[in-house]
Amino acid sequence: MESGTSEPKFAHLGPTHTPKSYTFKGAKGWRRYRLFQPGRGMYHDVKRRLPYYWSDITDAWTYRTFASTIRMYFVNLLPAIAYTLDMTRRTGYFYGINEALFSSALAAMVFSIGAAQPLTIVGVTGLISLFNYTIYDIIKQYDVTLYPSFMAWTGIWAAIFHWIVSFGNYCDYMRYVTDFSSESFGMYVGIIYCVKGVEELVNEFTSVSPTAGFMSCMIAILYFGSVYGLEKLGSSTMWKPFVRGLLADYAYVFTTLFWVGFAHIPGSLEDTHVSYVPIQQAFHTTTGRSWLIDFWNLPAKWIFVALPFGFLVMLLFYYDHNVSSLTAQARQFPLKKPAGFHWDFFLLGCTTFIAGILGLPMPNGLVPQAPVHTDSLTVYETRLDIIHTIDGEDEDIRRPLVEATAVVEQRISHFLMGLALIGTMTGPLLIVLHTMPAAVFAGVFFVVGWGSIESSGILKRLIYLQSESRFIAPSNPLLTVPRRKIVLYIGLQIFGVAACVAISQTIAAIGFPVLIIALIPLRIVLMPNLFTKKELSVLDALTADGEAVLASLGGRPEMDGEGLKGLENGESRAEEGLNGEDGLRMKRTRSGSAVRQRAGSFTR
């Protein structure tokens, strides 16, 4: 099965280096076809990662693991419930809280124990919710009773496609993903989340009362403001780094506890009878069915109708899961342990299969939870950065420079978070969940959605275009690109986002993964005709970067000739330029809602 490339001796290089034995570069004849070497990527993923397994447990005994567990429990649970509130209403109450918790817990157990990259948090996303209720809308036009087994078969087909992709080494193509499409995807997800937040509030108006609606609006807005404000404080220069760390770690915890309590203050507040998280008996399905779906009773015709749907689920997960995993291993995190995309995608096929036959929403990699997990495990040091001015010492500018010095790479925080999710499935904790008003989840949608929009490179370039030119640093590499080219570039991104948002509002919503994936060939094939290589090297960058990541994807892609070779530096400088326009290098936000900057922001 080994290709012709020689396997270098790497042991003496220490744990920061990964074996570079896996690549299809230079392969000839039948060896060029990835499917003809099934499982080669998975084999190397496991071989590369297995030596670190014991350290994934022994490295865990630090405070960061504890803080990460608490934070990730909230950051994973709250959005999952938020999406479920929406999904349960729109799928005839088939998918409820118990299914969502089961799915999250299942994914956490499988990926914390078995994944090659346990940093990638896997769970219920807003997009699978969109998927599930769009299929519901389609099926109910024919026979709504088919929905459970149809979804089971969708999951089964999706699992099969996952396995084909992972055995066929097709995750390799993820290395062609650039910020062009991943920024568009981030923006799209952000917009969809904000829309979901609004829908959650509208639901309070229509299904409870205007009073409940207005109170929910108020709570959602204040929830958003609270998390946002606490995170801003957490990235300020107030107090000691320790206190700021607490704010950053527990912004969601404090805010959620406060606003849940607020909604229960007797008087005008409690009397609004806003809706709370609907719960069922512990460990029972929402509809009262048995957990295993009788998928074998679905008529054969429908089994094959489910095939394209399964393919679309795979397509969504191919992009969403792998990009989540990439962002959890982005440049700014000083990771030392290797990645394993093929193996993890195989595992995702397994969870998809189980979720399908048990009637759970299918879990996949979560943005921004996955990068937030890595962030929560990162040891940051706030250094004093003195910029010496020519006017002498008294005029020196002092500002904080946050540096990521290490990441506690381990499996335990993910595993404990999974245990906590299982605990949440028990009766007493379900009752606690039931105290949470839906308005809080609308607030969660706004925080997560706006975090994704605010951190988007699209928005940053828009601000660059709108800025008064004399305040732009002359070293900003964007100045080397004609303005109309930047406009064209953002225009293409916005067109892609708008198309996805538009399609999401229709019954064709399940097609949106095709649109997102289509942005990759658009970028690789079409855009080099519209932009020079130099322009693309300033505007765009590989989303997958770093040798430890690319090792699992078959090595650095050779696209645009030398155009992308200088990308790493070029892009860093571009981001510095964007961030530096207000005279400040962007600080690390340590945000619960998004990882807002790249390594470029930390270095000069």
Q: Look up residue 374 and give its amino acid.
A: T
Q: Is the peptide bond before 371 cis (omega within 30 degrees of 0)?
A: no
- Tell me whether residue 288 or residue 583 sits nearer to its own copies (CB atom): 583
Which residues have CB under 8 Å from 120's CB, separation 6+? 111, 321, 324, 325, 328, 344, 365, 370, 373
| Smallest distance, its own copies to C-beta of residue 227, A | 15
Q: For residues 148-207, which are near its own copies according to CB under 8 A? A: 205
The distance of closest approach from Cβ of residue 170 to its own copies in the complex, given in angstroms and rounded to an integer, is 43
463 binds its own copies (CB under 8 A): yes
Options 15, 26, 210, 427; binder of its own copies; rule CB under 8 A:
210
Query: Can you tell me which residue has the tokens 């209403």?
Result: 89
Tell the smallest beta-carbon distance from residue 395 to its own copies (Å): 7
Which one of 221, 422, 498, 501 is in contact with its own copies (CB under 8 A)? 221
DSSP 139-186: HTTT-GGGHHHHHHHHHHHHHHHHHHHHHTTGGGGGGG-BHHHHHHHH
Number of residues that bind its own copies (CB under 8 A): 50
CB of 603 to its own copies, least distance (A): 13
Q: Of the two residues 475 and 506, which places its CB atom closer to its own copies in the complex?
A: 475
Asked if 200 and 75 count as a contact pair (C-beta separation under 8 A), the reply is no
Considering the rule CB under 8 A, would residue 237 count as an interface residue with its own copies? yes
Q: How many CB atoms lie within 10 A of CB 230?
A: 18
Distance CA 197, CA 444 (A): 8
Beta carbon nearer to its own copies, 213 or 418: 213
Does 9 help bind its own copies (rule: CB under 8 A)? no
Question: Which stretch in 279-287, 299-307, 312-320, 379-387 sits in contact with its own copies by CB under 8 A?
Answer: 379-387
Closer residue to its own copies (CB): 225 or 566: 225
CB 554, CB 23: distance < 8 Å = yes
Q: Which of 109, 208, 472, 488 binds its own copies (CB under 8 A)?
A: 472
| Interface with its own copies (CB under 8 A), residue from 35, 50, 57, 238 | 238
Of 500, 510, 107, 522, give the one whose Cα is nearest residue 321: 107
Q: How far is the CB of 470 from its own copies (least distance, A)?
A: 5
Distance CA 72, CA 375 (A): 11
Q: How far is CA 245 from CA 76, 134, 228, 240, 248, in A?
A: 19, 41, 15, 9, 5
Among 9, 28, 240, 484, binds its own copies (CB under 8 A): 240
487 touches its own copies (CB under 8 A): no
- Site track for its own copies across 251-270, x = CB under 8 A: -----------------x--
Please say whether the beta carbons of 75 and 188 come within 8 A: no
Q: Which is nearer to its own copies, 233 or 501 (CB)?
A: 233
d(CA 56, CA 118): 9
Stretch that binds its own copies, among 89-97, 279-287, 468-476, 533-541 (CB under 8 A): 468-476
Is the CB of 50 or the CB of 387 nearer to its own copies? 387
Binding status of residue 582 toward its own copies by CB under 8 A: yes
6 versus 468: smaller Cβ distance to its own copies: 468
DSSP class of 195:
H
Q: Does residue 271 touch its own copies according to CB under 8 A?
A: yes
Count other Cβ atoms within 10 Å, centred on residue 471.
9
Contact pattern for its own copies over residues 62 through 101, marking x by CB under 8 A: ----------------------------------------
Query: How far does CA 111 lie from the centroid of its chain?
Result: 15
Contacts of 285 (CB under 8 A, 6+ apart): 96, 98, 99, 291, 359
- Output the six-digit token pair for 376: 């929560």
Interface mask (CB under 8 A) for its own copies, residues 395-434, using x and -? xxxxxx----------------------------------
387, 432, 487, 518: which one binds its own copies (CB under 8 A): 387
Q: How far is the CB of 222 from its own copies (least distance, A)?
A: 7
- Where do we find the tokens 């326009």? 581
**Is residue 435 at the binding interface for its own copies, with CB under 8 A as the rule?**
no
547 binds its own copies (CB under 8 A): no
Helix (H) or strand (E) holding 407: strand 397-407
Candidates 107-115, 147-155, 188-196, 216-224; binding stretch for its own copies (CB under 8 A)? 216-224
Q: How far apart are CA 27 and CA 158, in angstroms?
A: 30
The three-point CA angle 36-41-42 to 5° equals 110
CA–CA separation, 249 and 235 (whole Å):
11
CA distances from 65 to 56, 72, 249 (A): 11, 10, 11
Taking the complex as a whole, the smallest distance from the CB of residue 479 to its own copies amounts, in Å, to 12
Other Cβ atoms closer than 10 A to 15: 12
Question: Taking the complex as a whole, how short is the minimal distance between the CB of residue 487 and its own copies, in angstroms?
Answer: 16
Work out the end-to-end distance of the chain between its first and last CA atoms, rounded to an integer number of angstroms: 45
Measured from the CB atom, the residue of 415 and 441 that comes closer to its own copies is 441
In the list 290, 389, 405, 603, the residue contacting its own copies (rule: CB under 8 A) is: 389
| Among residues 384, 428, 529, 561, the one that binds its own copies under rule CB under 8 A | 384
Stretch in the footprint of its own copies (CB under 8 A) among 49-57, 120-128, 417-425, 579-587: 579-587
> Could you tell me the smallest distance in angstroms from the CB atom of residue 404 to its own copies?
19
Residue type, 225: G
- Rule CB under 8 A: is residue 583 a binding residue for its own copies? yes
216 neighbors 445 (Cβ within 8 angstroms): no
Half-sphere exposure of 538 (CA within 13 A, CB side): 20
Distance CA 434, CA 394 (A): 57
Closest distance of CB 480 from its own copies, Å: 13
Span near its own copies by CB under 8 A; candidates 370-378, 383-391, 444-452, 546-554: 383-391
Q: How far apart are CA 349 and CA 314, in angstroms?
A: 9
Q: Which residues bind its own copies (CB under 8 A)?
A: 205, 209-211, 213-215, 217-218, 221-222, 236-241, 268, 271-272, 382, 384, 387-391, 393-400, 463, 466-468, 470-475, 581-584, 604
